[in-house]
Amino acid sequence: MNAPAEIRPIPYSPAVEVPEDKEAETVFDLKDTMHSISVKTYEDSGHAIRSVHAKTHGLLVGELSVLEGLPPAYAQGLFAQPGSYPVVLRLSTTPGDILSDDVSTPRGMALKVVGVPGVRVDGSEGDATQDFVMVNGPVFAAPTARKFAGNAKLLASTTDKAPNLKRLFSAVARGAEKAIEAVGGESATLKSLGGHPETNPLGETYFSQVPILYGDYMAKVSVAPVSSSLTALKDAPVDLKDKPDGLRDAVVEYFSAQGGEWELRIQLCTDLDKMPIEDASVEWPQELSPYVAVARLRLAPQQAWSEERARRIDEGMQFNPWHALAAHRPLGSVMRVRKDVYAMSKRFRAERNGMEISEPRDLDGLRSV
């Protein structure tokens, strides 16, 4: 996907970020809500897990190669110069409790780029990673942090309650979503409540949904499959009947025999009215600014999940958009409130599980486990 010559991105200005009223109060409310989810699941299992994206479907290592000859507007931050970096990739689904996969919810991809030099965002000093946290849909479920906090309270009230009822509701929601999609529509709400089609997460395209600083400019991020073995899995069904970990099984089976390639793509902001920074529910029009490839992600065949990988990645790492270069600082109210919430979640898991959570400087030894 070559960059169109007419793309003229808007330079970043602090004026584009406008804090919501009582944003500090929103941070407190959201931390409290996410903490309640973590406490509930910990009380039930005796093990601390993430308050969102708790269930893992694949833990992978690979390499991210920045493309040569990028136009100046796209050659920013991490992508300013050609080069290759080791990466860790985690595939997940969105709920904060561990559910059977037939409660089918949106898929997540978290990418940690390791060994990245450069000036860091506040709170990430001394680290050498750049994280991208994505979901397989182009827009966030709420426009602002306050709405996000309200939605989170509703989800918290359902945590770890009536799993059989959740399966039944998921089946109904999938049927309703299929009917909507048959006439060209789509419901993010139905998908988030269990109505996501039972498809392979490896065929999905993932989006940051919310913007980041992109050097001098502002952008959203996407990771899309490009190798034929992966694109063939787009909308490919996965049989999840009586297979509570069927998505993980599908990912493990795929990577036991073959690898794959994705493109990391950037969509630059070119119109602040149609591509707002503070409203995460607005899809930025691709006719104004398409997603343009800036790097290639390559993963070789490997063991996509093991107890040791889970210990070292799931338990020993955190994927957080605030693990970032200053050139890629998260933007907008949803991203701002995430900073303290992620910090709370990290502390909770580390303290309850008695395990240090740290940022890697290399992936030595991880590929073989």
pLDDT (tens digit per residue) in 89-129: 999 998 888 888 988 889 999 999 999 999 999 999 999 99
Cβ(313)–Cβ(119) under 8 Å? no
65 class by beta-carbon count within 10 Å (0-12 exposed, 13-18 middle, 19+ buried): middle
3-state helix vs strand vs coil in the chain, percent to 5: 30, 20, 45
Give the C-alpha distances (Å, rounded to integers) separating 228 from 10, 237, 259, 346: 35, 17, 11, 37
Global pTM reads 0.91
**Dihedral sign of CA atoms 157, 159, 164, 167 in order:** positive
Find, among 110, 131, 107, 127, the residue nearest to 119 by Cα. Answer: 127
Model pLDDT, residue 173: 43
**Residue 181 neighbours by CB under 8 Å, 6+ apart:** none
- What the block records as the tokens of 300 is 């070789």
Structural domains of the chain, ranges and CATH numbers in brackets: 14-353 (2.40.180.10)
Residues with pLDDT less than 50, the chain: 162, 164-177, 179-181, 183, 190-191, 193
pLDDT on residue 52: 92
Predicted confidence at residue 364, as pLDDT, reads 87
Distance CA 198, CA 237 (A): 6
Name residue 104's beta-bridge partners: 195
Quick one: how far is CA 130 from the chain centroid?
A: 13
312 Cβ contact list (under 8 Å, min separation 6): 366, 369
Which pLDDT belongs to residue 195?
A: 61
